[in-house]
């Protein structure tokens, strides 16, 4: 039960972060495309606008999202450390494989915690003035490390479904790492910034799918079952006995991933359409056509008369 609550908490956090980043990025680009530069963090607009004449309490509320993110990361690191100290044996002997996986996850989450703290210090004080491109480079390295940890965790899993979920999660983290690296090199690349927000949303949806597929009996594919030997849910606690059941479960997870990607793409389109309507962006076909020679007989005669006058003066 605790593992399911952890996945739901992680999913809600990633979804809110990704959607908020997507909305702010799209809004900033549509308001001023020429001055657009990718930012690792967007303060709340309402409090940011009134920060010049408000008290210190409004300044704290301006970075309220960062405070929540730091709190979540502290709790997540603590949970992973508690999981690594679990003494329940796995079904294959007493090899504490889950301890190393949990310690690796705790280390990656701790790096994200350091990034969040450095971003908060850089936004509120002048002690650590980290530029945006350097922060995106750091984030790319941490996302890449997270991808490696998820991939290695998938290779040592005894749970078939957990291995598949970790493998997909590693690919999403690799995509986030690539997009952050692109933003470090090209901070005006709007597509990469939107893709980063969409990838974080996708990671949140996949965290929810992982929790449902591993710990909720209704969502566990047919032919797979929970491992009763592992009390506290280590290693996913889900295994498929037959090869046919395993292949069917993997196919179901692949279909779920496609549906999640489709949902994220539709969400990006809806967000862009709603913000464009609010900003007042014109359609691509609403630009006025340039005058041509065939636009009117009067204009063509006037242009012809000017050309004749110019030729006469040159001779």
Say which range, 42-51, 68-77, 167-176, 297-306, has the weakest mean pLDDT: 297-306
CA distance 40 to 57: 23
**Does the pLDDT of residue 309 top 70, yes or no?**
no
Average of pLDDT values for 180-186?
Answer: 94
Residues sharing a CB contact under 8 Å with residue 98, sequence separation 6 or more, in sequence order: 83, 84, 86, 90, 234, 235
The pLDDT, as a whole number, for residue 172 is: 96
> Is the Cα dihedral 172, 122, 194, 59 positive or negative?
positive
- Predicted confidence (pLDDT) at residue 1 exceeds the cutoff of 80: no
Q: Please list the residues that pair with 238 across neighbouring strands.
A: 226
pLDDT at 98: 67
Q: Which residues contact 106 (CB under 8 A, 6 or more apart)?
A: 77, 80, 81, 84
* 303 against 213, higher pLDDT: 213
Question: Would residue 244 count as lying in a domain?
Answer: yes
**CB distance 130 to 121 below 8 Å:** no
More confident residue, 41 or 193: 193
Q: What residues contact residue 49 under an 8 Å CB cut-off, 6+ apart?
A: none
Mention every residue, 6+ apart, whose C-beta is less than 8 A from residue 154.
162, 163, 164, 166, 167, 170
Cα–Cα distance between 34 and 284 in angstroms, integer?
17
User: Token digits for 309?
Assistant: 């006058």
Does 64 reside within a domain?
yes
| Residue at 280 is within a domain | yes
Using the predicted structure, report yes or no on whether residue 238 has a pLDDT greater than 80. no
Q: Residue 307 pLDDT more than 50?
A: no
Distances (CA, A) of 89 to 106, 233, 315: 20, 11, 101
Strands 224-226 and 238-240: antiparallel
**Ramachandran area for residue 55 (φ above 0: left; ψ -120 to 50: alpha; else beta):** beta
Per-residue pLDDT, averaged over 79-91, amounts to 67
Q: Is residue 192 part of a domain?
A: yes
Provide mean pLDDT across the span 262-279. 93
What value does the mean pLDDT take over residues 1-17? 86
Q: Is the pLDDT of residue 53 over 80?
A: no
Identify the pLDDT of residue 59: 59
pLDDT of residue 281: 61
**List of long-range contacts for 303-308, beta carbons under 8 Å, 24+ apart:** none
Summary mean pLDDT of the chain: 79
Residue 204 lies in a domain: yes
Residue 13: which of 203, 210, 263 has the closest Cα?
A: 203
In this prediction the pTM is 0.81
Least confident span in 11-20, 67-76, 91-100, 117-126: 91-100
Interatomic CA distance for residues 11 and 265, integer angstroms: 18
Q: Is residue 187 included in any domain, yes or no? A: yes
The verdict on residue 276 lying in a domain is yes
Tokens of 270: 């809806």
**Per-residue CA distances from 155 to 56, 165, 235 (Å):** 49, 11, 12
| pLDDT tier at 81, thresholds 50, 70, 90 | confident
Count of structural domains, the chain: 1
> What's the rounded Cα separation, in Å, for the pair 112 and 32?
30
Q: What percent of the chain has a predicted confidence (pLDDT) above 90?
A: 41
Confidence of residue 292 (pLDDT cuts 50, 70, 90): very low
119 located within any domain: yes
Distance of CA 253 to the CA centre of its chain: 20
* Confidence bin at 51 (pLDDT 50/70/90): very low
The pLDDT of residue 297 is: 47
Confidence band of 311 (pLDDT split at 50, 70, 90): very low
Chain position carrying tokens 């941490």:
142
pLDDT over threshold 90, residue 48: no
Predicted confidence at residue 22, as pLDDT, reads: 94
What is the Cα–Cα distance from 59 to 55, expressed in whole angstroms? 7
Q: Which residue range forms the structural domain that includes residue 268?
A: 2-51+59-86+100-285
């Amino acid at each position: 039960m605790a593992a399911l609550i952890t996945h739901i908490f992680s999913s809600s956090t990633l979804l809110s972060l990704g959607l908020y980043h997507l909305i702010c990025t799209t809004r900033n680009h549509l308001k001023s495309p020429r001055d657009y530069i990718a930012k690792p963090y967007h303060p709340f607009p309402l409090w940011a606008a009134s920060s010049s004449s408000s008290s210190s309490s409004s300044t704290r509320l301006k970075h309220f999202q960062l405070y929540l993110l730091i709190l979540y990361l502290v709790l997540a690191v603590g949970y992973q450390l508690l999981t690594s100290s679990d003494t329940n044996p796995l079904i294959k002997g007493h090899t504490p494989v889950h301890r190393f996986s949990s310690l690796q996850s705790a280390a990656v989450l701790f790096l994200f915690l350091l990034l969040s703290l450095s971003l908060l210090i850089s936004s509120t004080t002048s002690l650590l003035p980290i530029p945006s491109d350097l922060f995106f480079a750091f984030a790319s390295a941490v996302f890449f490390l997270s991808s490696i940890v998820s991939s290695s965790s998938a290779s040592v899993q005894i749970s078939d479904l957990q291995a598949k979920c970790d493998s997909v999660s590693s690919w999403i983290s690799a995509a986030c790492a690539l997009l952050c690296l692109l933003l470090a090199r090209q901070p005006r690349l709007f597509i990469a910034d939107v893709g980063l927000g969409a990838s974080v949303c996708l990671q949140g949806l996949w965290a929810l799918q992982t929790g449902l597929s591993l710990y909720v009996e209704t969502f566990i594919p047919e032919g797979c079952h929970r491992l009763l030997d592992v009390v506290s849910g280590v290693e996913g606690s889900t295994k498929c006995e037959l090869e046919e059941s395993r292949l069917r479960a993997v196919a179901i997870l692949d279909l779920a991933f496609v549906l999640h990607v489709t949902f994220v793409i539709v969400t990006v389109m809806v967000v862009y359409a709603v913000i464009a309507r609010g900003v007042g962006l014109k359609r691509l076909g609403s630009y006025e056509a340039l005058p041509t020679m065939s636009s009117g007989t009067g204009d063509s005669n006037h242009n012809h008369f000017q050309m004749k006058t110019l030729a006469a003066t040159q001779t």
